[in-house]
Amino acid sequence: MNFLKKELENIKNKGQYRELTYLKGSQNKYCSFEDKKVLLMASNNYLGLCDDERIKKVSKDAIDNYGVGSGGSRLTTGSYDIHKKLEEEIAILKNREAALLFNTGYMANIGVITSICNKEWIIFSDEFNHASIIDGCRLSGAKIVVYKHSDMKDLKQKVKLYKGAKRIIITDGVFSMDGDIAKLPDIIKISKDNDIWVMVDDAHATGILGEKGSGTEEYFGLKGQVDIQVGTFSKALASEGGYVAGSYELIEYLKNKARSFIYSTALSPIVVSAALKALYIIKKDNNLRKNLLNNSKWFQEELKERGFCILESETPIIPLLVGDEDKAMKFSKMLFEEGIFIPAIRPPSVPKDTSRLRITLMATHIKEDLNFVLDKISYVFKKLK
C-alpha cells in the first residue's frame, strides 16, 4: 500500500490534489457549500431544471408507481415502459430511428466505441474530446489518431495519411472546458468525401443548441448527417443517464454488443421519469434556452469590456483564462469568499498554462446576479494582481 501514499504525495507536491466539496440543498443558483451560501456560476444544470417543481412531481409519482430501483439490467428484469418511452422521445428529438439508454454519458461513450471499433479501425479524435471518449477509444484497441483541436486542416491531412476501410471521426458537439462548437459542417464534408463515419457527443449541446434544442446537428442545419449521436441527461436535462441515437440497426447492435449496457442495472425509474419530463419541457418552451444564450452573449461582452480574456462561445460555457494554476486557484477561492462559486480548472483537465475559471450560466440567473458577478470578478482580480 506504500505506493498509494507515495503517489498521493506526488499529486500533492504537483499541486494537483483534488478534494470533494459538499453542497446543501438543491442544485440551483443559490446553494450552500458547507454552510456558506453562494451564487452558483458553475453548474451544468444549464436550464435550471434540477429544482423544477414539475420534474420533482413526476419523480415522486414514479416512486409511487415503480418504487426506487429498477432491480435488474435492461435485458433481464430492469426494463420498464418509461425506459422505452424515454428512448422513443430522445430518438424523436435527435431525428433518428431509435435510441438506447445507458446509465451515464460516460458509459454510453465507452459502450458504443468499444462495441463498434477494434484493432481494424482508425479513430480520428479531437484533442479536446471528453475523457469518456478518450477512454472508449483506448479500450477499443483501435488505432487512435488525435487531430489538433477543431483544426480541419490537420484532420484532412491525417485522414489522407491514415487510410483504411473502417474509419470514424469522433468529436464533442460542444467542448466542455472551452464551450466552443465543433466545426460539424467541415467534419461532415471530410467524412463524406472519404467515406468515414462520424460520431458526435452532444452532452453539452442537447437542450441548448438548435431551434428545438436538438443539438449541434440542428444548430448547423445538418439534420440526419451524423452516424452516431451520443449524449447525456445529466446537464441541460437535469437528470441522469446517457443515450445513443442512430439507425435501427445501430441500436439493435448495441443492445447485443455494448458491455456497459448489457452488464449494468437499468436506470432507476426516478431519473428516467425526470429526464422524460425535462424533454417535454424543453420541447414546449424554447424561451429558457433563448434567454440563457442571450444572457451568455451579454455577459461575455461585459467581461470583454472590463478587459478580461475569455474564450468566446455561443453556449453557456464561458472560460475566463487565467493561465497560472496557483493564480486560478486563488482567484476561485477569493470569489468564494465573496459569495460566488466558480471552480478553477487546471491541468490535466486542460492544457498546461491555460488554467481558467469555467463560468457557466443557468437560465435562472437574472441580470442582477450577473452584474453582481461582474463586479466581484473585477474586484477580486484587482486584489489578485
Ligand X SMILES: Cc1ncc(COP(=O)(O)O)c(C=O)c1O
Number of neighbouring beta carbons within 10 Å of residue 35: 6
Nearer to ligand X, 106 or 299 (CB): 106
Nearer to ligand X, 128 or 220 (CB): 128
Give the Cα separation of 28 and 369 in Å (integer). 13
Nearer to ligand X, 202 or 369 (CB): 202
Query: What's the distance, CA 241 to chain centroid?
Result: 12
CB of 235 to ligand X, least distance (A): 7
Asked whether 75 and 266 are in contact (CB, 8 A), the reply is no
Tell me the residue type at 213: G
Asked whether 142 and 118 are in contact (CB, 8 A), the reply is yes
CB of 11 to ligand X, least distance (A): 22
Give the Cα separation of 58 and 279 in Å (integer). 13
Residues that bind ligand X (CB under 6 A): 104-106, 109, 130, 132, 172, 176, 201, 203-204, 232, 234, 242
> Given 43, 125, 176, 268, which residue is catalytic?
176
> Given 29, 94, 158, 235, which residue is catalytic?
235
> Given 29, 130, 204, 365, which residue is catalytic?
204
Asked whether 96 and 251 are in contact (CB, 8 A), the reply is no
Hey, what's the cell of 267?
436506470
Does 352 participate in catalysis according to the annotation? no
Nearer to ligand X, 203 or 278 (CB): 203
Asked whether 178 and 313 are in contact (CB, 8 A), the reply is yes
Distances (CA, A) of 157 to 148, 162, 212: 11, 9, 35
CB of 106 to ligand X, least distance (A): 4
Nearer to ligand X, 205 or 340 (CB): 205
Give the Cα separation of 199 and 169 in Å (integer). 6
Q: Are strands 242-246 and 98-102 parallel, antiparallel or unpaired?
A: antiparallel
Does 235 participate in catalysis according to the annotation? yes
CB of 6 to ligand X, least distance (A): 30
Which residue is closest to ligand X by CB? 105
Does 176 participate in catalysis according to the annotation? yes
CB of 133 to ligand X, least distance (A): 7
Positions marked active-site: 176, 204, 235
